[in-house]
Structure 1
Amino acid sequence: MNIGLTGGIATGKSTVSSMLTRKGALLVDADVIAREVMLPGHPVLAEVAAYFGQDIIQADGQLDRKKLGEIIFHDEKKRQALNEITHPAIRREIRKQMMDYEAAYPDRLVVVDIPLLYESELQSLFEKIIVVYVPREIQLHRLMERDNITKERAEARLNSQMDIEQKKQLADEVIDNSGTLEKTSDQVDELWKRLFRS
């Protein structure tokens, strides 16, 4: 079974995905794939640099993520342009990894962690979609603490994604990660049982 795992920035998707992998799920991580297509020498990075300018490339050939982030979090058109360059390559790799896992491990649960699952309209790839949820105020607070950024910057990042309440409404399953790790773990246990009952 393939399930999509999503949420918002700083809602705790990695926490939940690691709990699922400890139970035996196989993980396809869109963030890892997104980083790989931005490595020196990858054609996607070359295309991004051609569009945004060589300023976003550091002396060692690596992408300057902070610089690119500052550009796209404040400019909807440029964010869209970046997505149009990167998303097709990321989607191809997600599909490939899913198919490879399905062929090699037909009885295992495959969890695909995609932060922008709904924004990218990838729902049709999955049998179920799980949203890792925290209320926006907690999300904002965690993001400011995690990335050591101002409220204004954190708001800009949250505003660049679909609202977490909207994602919660669209979900097949919701894991509320606003409490303790133990409470989140209990919900993951219950979810695991439901997935294997159906």
Structure 2
Amino acid sequence: MRFIGITGGIGAGKSEILHYIGEHYKCEIYLADEVAHLVKQPGKRCYQELVRLLGTDAVAADGQIDKAVMADKIFARPELLEQVNGMIHPAVREYLLERLERARNAGEAELFFVEAALLIECGYLALVDEMWYIYADEKIRRERLRRTRGYSEEKISQIMSRQLSEESFRKNCDFVIDNSGSLKDTYRQIDERLSTVRLH
């Protein structure tokens, strides 16, 4: 089984690519953001630690961590972000490695994908068999984000400024998919790469 990381800047089209892969290949796909949400649930790995760190006022009526309250607390005390990430990132990694081991033992999937914008920063280069960079021209990414998410130019610029540069992504990744053109061209790049990967 091949363990592949999928990363890239916001608006590059990572979700569309994973949807295609999920439809056409025997694989398991995990989104790090979804796993991060899971490990914050009541009874899960990070819940009690987060409540201790953020206070009981960060717990909503349904017992969930209130995302808005957590965001306000982190904004007021930026040092909390590092502490929260210090809990969540290792828990996400542990969860994913458990799922990888389970998938290998089951022997049904040929490929195991993990997607996140921060895979490189969170140390996944040492874990994956290969890292893919999903690239799209910045102008195209901005247009997508305005159209699909309703983001303002200011918000887009703010998010992009916090992410790795194109140069850093390219330097750290094993393979680049250019998602600036047609989906047909993007799918061709995926199929060509995976036809090679599955031979090994």
- TM-score, L = length of structure 1: 0.84
Match of 1:189 in 2: 191
Is residue 142 from structure 1 mapped to residue 144 from structure 2 by the alignment? yes
Is residue 3 from structure 1 mapped to residue 4 from structure 2 by the alignment? yes
Query: Residue 17 and residue 100 in structure 1: after superposition, are their counterparts in 2 closer, same or farther (change >3 A)?
Result: same
Per-residue deviation, 1:87? 0.8
Q: Deviations over 1:71-128 (max 9, x none)?
A: 6589864432221121111110010001111111177122222331101011111111
Is residue 174 from structure 1 mapped to residue 176 from structure 2 by the alignment? yes
Match among 86, 90, 93 for residue 91 of structure 1: 93
Partner SS state of residue 162, structure 1:
coil
Structure showing greater Rg: 2
Contact 2:11-2:141 at 8 Å conserved across structures? yes
Match of 1:132 in 2: 134
Match of 1:158 in 2: 160
Contact 1:7-1:13 at 8 Å conserved across structures? yes
- How many percent identity over aligned positions? 28
Distance in 1, matches of 2:95 and 2:145, equals 28
Partner SS state of residue 95, structure 1:
helix
Q: Deviations over 1:137-169 (max 9, x none)?
A: 333333343332322222222233222442123
Comparing 68-77 with 116-125, greater Cα deviation is found at 68-77
The aligned length equals 198
Distance in 1, matches of 2:182 and 2:76, equals 33
Distance in 1, matches of 2:146 and 2:83, equals 26
Equivalent residues in 2 for 1:91-130, closer than 5 Å:
91-105=93-107, 108-130=110-132
Structure 2: tracts of 5 or more residues without a match = none
Contact 2:13-2:134 at 8 Å conserved across structures? yes
